Amino acid sequence: MTVEMTWEGPRRDRRPLTPDRIRNQAFPRTKIGHRGYSSEEVHAFLHRVAEDVAAGDKEKADLRAEIDRLKHWYADHGVDVDDSGTRREARLSVDAVNILSRAQQTADAQIAEAEDYARRLVAQARHQYEEILQEAQQRAEEAARQAVTVYRSGDGVQTAEAEELERRIAYLRTFTEVTQVQLRAVLEGLSHQVDKLGSVPEPVPKP
Amino acid sequence: MDTQALKESWRAVALSGDQVPLFFYSALFLMHPETRDLFPVSMAGQRDRLVRALGHAVSSVDRLDELVPFLQQLGRDHRKFAVVAGHYPAVGEALLATLAHFLGDRWTPELAQSWTEAYGVISEAMIGAATDASRTTPPWWEGEIIAHEPRALGIAVIRARLNYPYPFRAGQSASISLGMRSRLWRYYSMANAPRQDNTVDLHVRVVDGGTVSTTLVHGARVGDVLRIGAPVGDRLTLDGRMPGDLLLIAGGTGAAPLKALVEQVAYEGPQRRVHLVVGARRSRELYDLDALSKLEAVHPWLTVTPAVSHDPLYQGDQGYAVDVALRSGWRGEEVFVCGSEPMVQASVARLVDAGVPSEQIHFDEFTSDRGRES
């Protein structure tokens, strides 16, 4: 190499960040009541930074390939820029390596995006599910209270057991009604998404 | 072999970060296209692992007594990825080409010689250990799913029958991979003590966006075949030096290895009292309570206590599993904790506060349902 590089770089004890480590960096949560950044915003930003780091890596790889090409040109024209003279007999094309690396990085980024999308989708679905159940529970409690009021205002002999029974029947009826309708809608949406997740194509077998 | 030159040159190369393994794998796949199928589609995590393992090997290259056991374990582990002795020279060739490319002028014949020797040591240790292991165990076991029960939203209990005898101890885990995603592996604990019929139970919870767990819970069917690596881990196993009573604290699917311990006590003894506290956020996530209650009914020495932390309408014990377990006080039992990472950390801290000596608290770092794999 014509450019002089020192053996020890400035940050010898620090491993450089990779796009994958940036994308998967986790931060500790602040205590409840303390202010903090929105985790979705931080997450989106990390993905952006990972993209830029990958782009920087690509540029450096291009430069190394350029150096390699120039060296080959000089070598082919009778100038040996490598004083060591230890070039491997079978020349590995740095350009071919870089093309393959670029394809791999594109695949990595696409898969990371898809996994991130799946993560958010499932988290959302779970949140929705919790909300539906909570709403159903609240409405069922309300219906049960009303049933008891109606029962008490009615005629005939009233017992505590019968009152409790009325309360439970009303609770369960409302709870099932509310959850049945909503969960069915969610399940349909979810199973559709899950089918899509499960059908990632296998690599084409070699001929 | 000039170990100082090895270390210095590795340090210089490692400064280029992700570009180094990126170049290495591209060179490997170009020179030996048949090796591409050994790896998953996404290589992002794989690159970090390669650099970590190589960095570790290089930094301890002058302490072979420490390095060799690490390499032997690595070699045995690689059998499940279908790596055979023939792959090692290919990797060596790609490694030397990568180093030559990044070091430029500084790649001298002497340095090349040192690296060739160092890689010889690495591959010999790995191949040797893999060959030894192949005399006694298969590279992986195949487990046909014979039961697949969804128990709660995103939780399934899976039973698989293995094709060869599978010698493991209650509390151990194994890395598991699916036919559908055959190059991705995740750790799961066996939820049972070894059985005559060679079956194992797995408790799987969907990790949001996790491909293996999602496929295991939603995609896997009876008849599908899992690949199962050799059993690992000794942090959650019982040994003869622990004859006393047991307090088992589980969060979510962390109940799996602890249920295995209960079965071991039932099958093998010795006689002791066992208290299992299974924690969940909501009562509907207590996915294995029926089976645990049956065990409790048969064994007078066993107490099972469900604990629910985020469900105000729940009738039973409210609170985190560790708090419910400590409500009646600690009576000198050996304590085992398993669950998600935050659950284990918080529980262990709470136990220490309550005066349980740390040598009597047992927990594992990777039997929870998270897990990027080596």
Within 13 Å and on the Cβ side, how many CA atoms surround B103?
26
State the pLDDT at residue A72: 78
Q: How far apart are CA B31 and CA A92, in angstroms?
A: 8
What does the pLDDT average to over A125-145? 82
Partner-chain residue, chosen from B30, B43, B51, that has the shortest CB–CB distance to A108: B43
Q: Decide if B14 and A15 are in contact by the 8 Å CB cutoff.
A: yes
Contact yes or no for B209 and A7 at CB 8 A: no
CA distances (Å), B274 to each of B140, B287, B304, B338, in order?
34, 20, 9, 15
Residue B29 has its nearest CB partner, among A17, A100, A107, at A100
Predicted local distance difference test score (pLDDT) of residue A82: 54
In tens, the pLDDT along B242-290 reads 778 999 999 999 999 999 999 999 998 778 999 999 999 988 889 999 9
Report how far residue B219's alpha carbon sits from residue B226's, in angstroms, rounded to the nearest whole number. Answer: 12
How much is the pLDDT for B365? 66
Q: Is the pLDDT of residue A112 over 90?
A: no
Q: What is the pLDDT of residue A8?
A: 41
For the ranges A25-34, A36-45, A104-113, B38-47, the lowest mean pLDDT is seen at A25-34
Higher pLDDT pick, B89 / A181:
B89
Choose the most confident range, by mean pLDDT, from A82-96, B33-47, B171-185: B33-47
Chain A residue numbers touching B106 (CB-CB < 8 A)? 7
Percent of chain B with pLDDT over 70: 96
What pLDDT shows up at residue A91? Answer: 62
Residues of chain B in contact with residue A94, where contact means CB-CB under 8 angstroms, are 101
Does A19 score more than 90 pLDDT? no
3-class SS string, A45-99: HHHHHHHHHHHHHHHHHHHHHHHHHHHHHHHHCCCCCCCCCCCCCCCCCHHHHHH
Best A62, A69, A84 member to test B by mutation, with max B CBs in 10 Å, is: A84
Which of A31-35, B65-69, B89-93 bottoms out in mean pLDDT, i.e. has the lowest? Answer: A31-35
Where is pLDDT greater, at B263 or A35? Answer: B263
A16–B17: do the CB atoms touch at under 8 Å?
yes
Contact check, Cβ <8 Å, B153/A129: yes
Higher-pLDDT residue of B369 and B69 is B69
Between the CA of residue B160 and those of B73, B142, B191, B195, what are the distances in Å? Answer: 26, 9, 11, 12
Q: Which residue of B has its CA nearest to A114?
A: B209
pLDDT at A6 over 80: no
**CA B75 centroid distance within chain:** 16
* Percent of chain B whose predicted confidence (pLDDT) is above 90: 51
Average pLDDT over residues A186-192: 71
Query: Is A198's CB within 8 Å of B15's CB?
Result: no
Q: Do B208 and A100 touch (CB under 8 A)?
A: no
B-chain residues near A93 (CB < 8 A): 30
> B74-118, pLDDT tens digit by residue?
999 899 888 888 899 999 999 999 999 999 889 999 999 999 999
Chain B positions in Cβ-Cβ contact with residue A131 (cut-off 8 Å): none
* CB within 8 Å: B100 and A88: yes
Check residue A80 and give its pLDDT: 59
Higher confidence at residue B102 or residue A72? B102
Give pLDDT, residue B198: 93
Q: Do A122 and B206 touch (CB under 8 A)?
A: yes
**According to the model, what pLDDT value does residue A197 have?**
58
CB contact under 8 A, B208 and A57: no
Instruction: Pick from A35-44, A131-140, B138-147 the range whose average pLDDT is largest.
Output: B138-147
List, for residues B1-33, the tens digit of each pLDDT value: 888 999 999 999 988 888 999 999 999 999 998
Show residues of chain A in contact with B55, CB under 8 Å: 15
What pLDDT, in 10s, does the model give residues A100-110? Answer: 999 999 999 98
At B8 the three-state DSSP class reads helix
* Widest Cα–Cα separation across chain A: 114
pLDDT digits (tens, 9 = 90+) for B199-240: 999 999 988 878 888 889 988 889 899 999 989 888 899 877
Percent of chain A predicted with pLDDT > 90: 5
Q: Which residues pair with B205 in a beta bridge?
A: B155
Collapsing DSSP states into helix, strand and coil, what is residue B145?
A: strand
Which of B13, B18, B214 to probe the A interface (max A CBs under 10 A)? B18
Q: Shortest CB distance from A86 goes to which of B107, B208, B214?
A: B107
Q: What is the ipTM of this complex?
A: 0.73
B274-280 and B246-251: which strand pairing? parallel
User: By CB neighbour count within 10 A (0-12 exposed, 13-18 middle, 19+ buried), where does A76 fall?
Assistant: exposed
pTM for the whole thing?
0.72
Query: Any idea what DSSP says for residue B306?
Result: E
Say yes or no: A167 contacts chain B, CB-CB below 8 A: no
Least-confidence region, from B119-133, B172-186, B294-308, B343-357: B172-186
Q: What is the pLDDT of residue A9?
A: 42
What confidence score (pLDDT) does residue A87 get? Answer: 46
pLDDT at A124: 86
Strands B274-280 and B361-363: unpaired
A117 contacts in B (CB within 8 Å)? 209
Identify the top-confidence range among A150-164, A185-199, B34-48. B34-48
pLDDT of residue A3 exceeding 50: no
pLDDT of residue A194: 65
Write out the DSSP string of B17-80.
TTHHHHHHHHHHHHH-GGGGGGS-S--HHHHHHHHHHHHHHHHTTT-HHHHHHHHHHHHHHHGG
Q: Which residues of A touch B109 (CB under 8 A)?
A: 84, 86
